[in-house]
Amino acid sequence: MVLTVELGERAYPIHVADGGLEGLGAAVAALLPPGRAALVTNPVVGALYLDAAMDSLTAAGFEPFSVMIPDGEAYKTVDTWHALIESLLAARMTRSTPIIALGGGVTGDIAGFAAASVMRGCPLVQVPTTLLSMVDSSVGGKTGVNSPRGKNLIGAFYQPRLVYAGLQTLTTLDIAEIRSGLGEVIKHGLLQDPALFALCEERPEDILALSPDVMRALVVGCCRVKADVVAQDEREGGIRAILNLGHTVGHAIENALGYGEMRHGECVGIGMLAEARWAVEERGCDSEVPVRLRACMERLQMPTRAPTIDHDQLITAARADKKLSRGTLSTAILETIGRVRLERIPSGEILSMMARLEF
Ligand code: NAD
Ligand code: GLY
């Protein structure tokens, strides 16, 4: 199955393949000329999939070489980005050498930012291998790293030339990573696809068992929603901000806890729940939403309570949100399942969202 992100001359395909990475080389060769290609990955994903990616690219006429970055959100830093750039330059890459990001969202965000910045930009290919990166981070062109002051505060919008998701790679993921990805899956369902949300509610066993049909439906459904939103508003001047549902509270938890202490998608899930409760109590939205959301998260064995966090740290983290502008924040308000609106809310209301967290 191939979807398209409709961005005019910069439109690009999202391949959702049932197998592993066998088809990667041919998909890249259909868009980019043969030559050297830099595969960026980490030791965990590299041990599992680097050979398959190299073989597929070589068979399609490329001369791939690999560059390793460390594994984990704690390494999503300027230092890692800088070391990666230096390794790429030392390998004598040129402006036409594609960077192929093989891994989860952390690898995709760091390698994507390197592709945006090395020699002022080279072609980028995203090869997501986690559920979260397949359903969200590999699509849409947000790249970057964290600052001690806040999440993803350093980066660039930089669209890939293609995305290649081999669903079979999900089978080696820790189940906790699947649950984290489900946070972003539920988000897309809540925003624009009630059938996708219903699938999460009705088929939790199949989802947790990674039933191929259901996983394909989740990845394709999410990519469809994301591609549609990004095509309307590539740089988050307006509607793209709906994709931040759950992130205002979620990012604050991540930042206050310290990066890597809790998974991104888990924080987004907990954040969506607090934001949905706030939307009911402060904006009169559909009261079924937080009830169904919590039940769905429980069925999928996702955490619904925030860990104990120092209150002041949480507030400081919330105030560092890069989306705050002149004391207000464009916020996604879930009116009901499948219907969302944006509203600029004063920063004080973020504290009122935080107050809806369950500990
Ligand atoms: P991750 O990249 O840290 O991957 C999770 C873990 O799984 C890592 O240890 C990784 O090495 C391992 N792994 C990856 N693929 C595997 C596989 N197939 N088998 C076994 N292990 C595998 O985490 P993530 O959840 O993929 O991504 C989270 C990041 O994505 C966060 O930094 C978040 O900010 C970012 N994000 C970005 C966007 C965007 O639009 N750019 C959107 C959402 C999230
Ligand atoms: N994850 C939010 C976005 O891509 O806009």
Question: Ligand 2: which of 7, 133, 136, 186 to mutate, judged by most atoms within 8 Å of the beta carbon?
Answer: 136
Residue 308 binned pLDDT confidence (cut-offs 50, 70, 90)? confident
> What percent of the chain clears pLDDT 70, i.e. is strictly above it?
100
pLDDT at position 105 is 98
Q: What is the pLDDT of residues 232-264, one digit of tens each?
A: 999 999 999 999 999 999 989 988 888 778 999
Among the bound ligands, name the one nearest to the CA of residue 144: 1
Does residue 60 contact residue 30 with C-beta atoms inside 8 Å? no
pLDDT at position 14 is 98
Alpha-carbon gap, residue 31 to 311, rounded angstroms: 50
Provide the annotated active-site residues.
120, 142, 184, 226, 236, 240, 244, 247, 251, 264
H helical segments located in the chain: 24-29, 43-59, 78-90, 105-117, 131-132, 175-192, 194-202, 204-208, 212-232, 247-257, 264-283, 288-299, 311-319, 348-354
Residue 322 binned pLDDT confidence (cut-offs 50, 70, 90)? confident
CATH number of the 2-172 domain:
3.40.50.1970
Residue 320 binned pLDDT confidence (cut-offs 50, 70, 90)? confident
* Pocket lining: 142 vs ligand 2, CB cutoff 6 Å: yes
Evaluate if residue 224 carries a pLDDT over 90: yes
Residues of the chain with CATH 3.40.50.1970: 2-172
Alpha-carbon gap, residue 239 to 146, rounded angstroms: 24
Evaluate if residue 30 carries a pLDDT over 80: yes
**Statement: 181-354 belongs to CATH 1.10.530.10:** no
pLDDT at position 315 is 83
Residue 57 binned pLDDT confidence (cut-offs 50, 70, 90)? very high
> What percent of the chain clears pLDDT 90, i.e. is strictly above it?
87
Q: Which ligand 2 atom minimizes the distance to the CA of 243?
A: 2
Give Cα separations from 239 to 70, 187, 220, 333 (angstroms). 34, 15, 21, 12
Kindly give, in sequence order, each residue whose CB lies less than 8 Å from that of residue 1, ignoring residues fewer than 6 positions away: 15, 16, 17, 216, 220
- Tell me the pTM: 0.96
pLDDT at position 84 is 98
> Mean pLDDT over residues 265-293, rounded?
97
pLDDT at position 260 is 77
* Pocket lining: 247 vs ligand 2, CB cutoff 6 Å: no
Residues of the chain with CATH 1.20.1090.10: 181-354
Q: What is the pLDDT of residues 156-211, one digit of tens each?
A: 999 999 999 999 999 999 999 999 999 999 999 999 999 999 999 999 999 999 99
Q: What is the pLDDT of residues 106-149, one digit of tens each?
A: 999 999 999 999 999 999 999 999 999 999 999 999 999 999 88
In which region does residue 257 sit, left (phi positive, over 0), alpha (psi from -120 to 50) or beta (all else)?
alpha
Token pair 């002041």: residue: 312
DSSP string of 199-213, one letter each residue: HHHH-HHHHHTT-HH
Which two structure tokens, joined as six digits, stand for 104? 């989860």
Which two structure tokens, joined as six digits, stand for 194? 């009630």
DSSP string of 247-263, one letter each residue: HHHHHHHHHHH-TTSS-
Alpha-carbon gap, residue 155 to 153, rounded angstroms: 7
More confident residue, 255 or 47: 47
Rg (CA), the chain: 19
Q: 133 alpha carbon to ligand 1 midpoint, in Å?
A: 6
pLDDT at position 79 is 98
pLDDT at position 312 is 85
pLDDT at position 29 is 98
